[in-house]
A and B are shown apart, each in its own frame.
Chain A
Amino acid sequence: MNKMILNNGVVIPSIGLGTYPLFGSQLSQIVLTAYDCGYRLFDTADNYYNEEDLGNSFSNLYHKRGNIREKLFIVTKISDELYRQNEITPGMNKGIYFWKNSPYMRSNHACHDIVTKKIETSLRFLKTDYIDLLLMHRPYPDFFEEIWYEMEQAYKAGKVRAIGLCNSYERHLDKLLKSGTVVPMVNQIETSPLNTKKVLIDYYTSKKVQMMVYSPLQTLKCKKEIEFLQYLEKISCKYGKNIGQVLLRYHIQRNLIPIPKSTNVNRLQSNIAVFDFCMTDTEIEELSSFNIDYQYLPESKGCPGF
């Protein structure tokens, strides 16, 4: 298992498992299987509403594989609330936390109270006394610096080993470099050959911020991008890998940490078997040439004004 080193010296696995929207015994089984396949990084968020189930999954894992907490790398996030599975438009943002219009944010210490409570709840649910990486799920424009300040306090208090951002751009990092005391260790974004975000990635990398990739295999669903998919097939044939593996390797060779999700045992195994081949620089460039700035989850709709 390859690893990377964050700007504060914390070691992070080069690949991880996404856990949205997995719950209950299915999640438990997948965590156990993933661990046996070699996964060590598990990504969740407070608004996936599965932290408690993930915590139970880890308990099950410790029970079956011994006390291996130190081998795991747990990532969770501070977020707004989402509409639940039994509500209309499940998965969409509710606008309850971190928006100045919200009645929950009226008091002067609302941000402190909410972030503190969320971290305590995450620790309790995940059945751990520390989180390896805590991320701000979106750069909420109304409380961006305030949330970061609270995350810095949690980091300094030792509750989290590393802190970072998600879905953030250059201007967000610039703000924190001016106003913050801790340089973010990670920015988790959506990127792909169809949406390379080269300038953004280069900028963050130049500031020693590690990039992670959520939904790293999403572009396999872009059936209209025929030439892109054909090129992936061509590369996959050359290396004897499937197109998912080619895509994950593309991210890894860009020094990004992908966190694919799968409930299929074969795919769990194949998604992590990506460290035994290497594409040429030309192949990476050719994949990147398919860039059309495609966004499957337009960021501004999830976090307006970010």
Chain B
Amino acid sequence: MEECTARQRLRIYFTGVGGQGTLTATTLLAGAAMIAGLDVVAGEVHGMAQRGGVVESVVLLGGWRSPRVDFGEADVLLGFEPLETLRGLPYLRLGGAVFSSSDPLPPVGVSLGQAQYPELAVIEEKIRQIAGLCKFLPCRELGLAAGSAQSGNTALLGAACAAGALPFGTDVLERAVKNVLSPGIQEVNLKALALGAAA
């Protein structure tokens, strides 16, 4: 378990599908790091985000200057969709930690029967070959239990935090929810955070 305990200097890679709220989760985590008094830099690639493409972003803590994570550099990979978690796996360093949603969003090629979605067991096996810690979470279910499917992302952050993969506690994430998110969705996200941390 030594591999998954948080270092102060940490590179986190987020991946998901356009419209899932990947960038909001990124801002939330970066905001939490600010509250914790950590040096933080984050990076996003916009542009095609809302058209069903892959959305990637990064948060680097503890004094990194570059808002970018390359292959083999990420200490933590947060995947909001299992296929994208697998696609993002080369970014993880050997022994890094993976937290991923277990709810597939099939790409169009799969929906139309032109491509095959990999089995979850296969995805998990490939991740375990690289990662020191791998946790799948039913984010959609947890999100819905909290009050909205979207808040499943926050549940995933809660799980990563509770597993000790982030250099601050869930209390800091709670404060970030109150600081960063609009008042109307704070309650739901606080609930999702707790559900994720307990999962």
A binds B: no
Q: B: which residues have CB within 8 A of A? A: none
